[in-house]
Amino acid sequence: MASIWRSRSTHSMRNFFMTILRSMTLPASLFLMEKNARDLQTGYLYHGYDESREQQWADKTTGRSPHVWGRAIGWYGMALVDVLDYFPAEHPQRAELINILNRFAEMAVKLQDKKSGVWYDIPNLPQQKGNYKEASASCMLVYTLAKASRLGYIDAGYKKAAKTGFKGIQKEFLKLENGQLNLHGTVSVSGLGGKPYRDGSFEYYMSEPVIVNDPKGLGAAILCAAEVEKLDIPQTGIGKRVVLDRYYNSEKEKDITGREYLWHYVWGGWSHPGFGLVQQSFERLGATVDNLDVEPTAANLANASVYIIVDPDHVKDNPRPNYMTPENADVIADWVKEVAYCGCWQTTAQTVN
């Protein structure tokens, strides 16, 4: 869970985290768990891993705990797909995160109960006596599959598994009682070690209480429902390319290492001068976003459906600002006429509004 950076709060925090992200290797917890807690034969991710092999619950050969736990893999999946929102697109190890996510999605569908569409508390042992369908894990896994498939990280075919899972959640866990919609079926907690000692046995997992409207389930259910709803938004942006100018607006700041970076009205920015929400709005409709760091030409605007110029620089913003020239204006005007003629603008104008 700690791998999900929620750095929208302040601009200074955003700078701090992005500096770390640009310089760091693959998020350690995500990488180490996949490397050590994953069984190579089954693809299953086990609940815990002890490098020392000293814990009673740890296998003396692999270091892994005895069982796969539903909510543990649910949290892991959500962390994977959410951290990609903030992990820089240019980072050399971003592709490996997506590879891990693809292996995870394959495992999640393999563990999905074919009859109900949801996941069991110990998802690889659905027939074992006492095992039960668990709400929080099911909501987290549906969220992961829905978001990852919508954003193109995994194959679009996984949308079917997400929708099947959501129908299962509605049937198995949601109950209207005394005028209130309640979420049943969330295990209160499951851990390893500690006092009293939790040995990771099947019997231990089955001993933990199952709660109605547990916050860990409710939060996941809300996120899950919102994400599944997005799957049915008309993908009017598919094949469209939204280009954001970084030539006329190229203000730079220094991060905590002294390195300069573009910060003003940029994709992925969540502080006041950021376009993170705008980016998500375009991507939700299936469009792709891009940057243009040089002056516009007929060639580099040829495949653009939308071209955005925001708050061009002056000398106070940039010691060497790039000003609009008559030649630049002619290029943009010709592009607008071409886009309007081919019918692309009518589609993207709605997106901008």
Tokens of 217: 């389930």
Tokens of 118: 């949801």
Q: Give pLDDT, residue 256.
A: 83
Q: What does residue 212 show for φ and ψ, rounded to 5 degrees?
A: -95, 130
Cβ contact 121:136 at 8 Å: no
pTM of the shown model: 0.82
Q: Give pLDDT, residue 345.
A: 42
Q: Give pLDDT, residue 292.
A: 97
For β-strands 186-187 and 180-183, DSSP reports them as unpaired
SS3 for 58-114 is: CCCCCCECCCCCHHHHHHHHHHHHHHCCCCCCCCCCHHHHHHHHHHHHHHHHHHCCC
> Cis bond leading into 196, ω under 30°?
yes
Q: Give pLDDT, residue 349.
A: 34
CA distance 65 to 200: 6
Q: Which segments in the chain show pLDDT lower than 70?
A: 1-27, 340-353
CA distance 255 to 20: 10
Q: Give pLDDT, residue 12.
A: 44
Other beta carbons within 10 angstroms of residue 36's beta carbon come to 16
Please report, for the chain, the start and end positions of each structural domain, with discontinuous segments joined by +. 11-230, 241-352
SS3 for the chain is: CCCCCCCCCCHHHHHHHHHHHHHCCCCHHHHHHHHHHECCCCCCECCCECCCCCCCCCCCCCCECCCCCHHHHHHHHHHHHHHCCCCCCCCCCHHHHHHHHHHHHHHHHHHCCCCCCCCECCCCCCCCCCCCECHHHHHHHHHHHHHHHHCCCCCCCHHHHHHHHHHHHHHHCEEEECCEEEECCEECCCCCECCCCECCCHHHHHHCCEECCCHHHHHHHHHHHHHHHHCCCCCCCCCCEEEEECCCCCCEEECCCCCEEECCCECCCCCCCECHHHHHHHHHCCCEEEEECCCCCCCCCCCCCEEECCCCCCCCCCCCCCCCCHHHHHHHHHHHHHHHHHCHHHHHHHHHC
Domain 11-230 belongs to what topology? Glycosyltransferase (1.50.10)
For β-strands 260-262 and 252-254, DSSP reports them as antiparallel
pLDDT in tens, 135-193: 999 999 999 999 999 999 999 999 999 999 999 999 999 999 999 999 999 999 999 99
Please choose, from the candidates 132, 123, 129, the residue with its C-alpha nearest in 3D space to the C-alpha of residue 173: 132
Measured between its terminal Cα atoms, the distance across the chain in Å is 35
Q: Give pLDDT, residue 165.
A: 98
pLDDT in tens, 268-312: 888 778 898 899 899 889 899 999 999 999 999 999 999 999 999
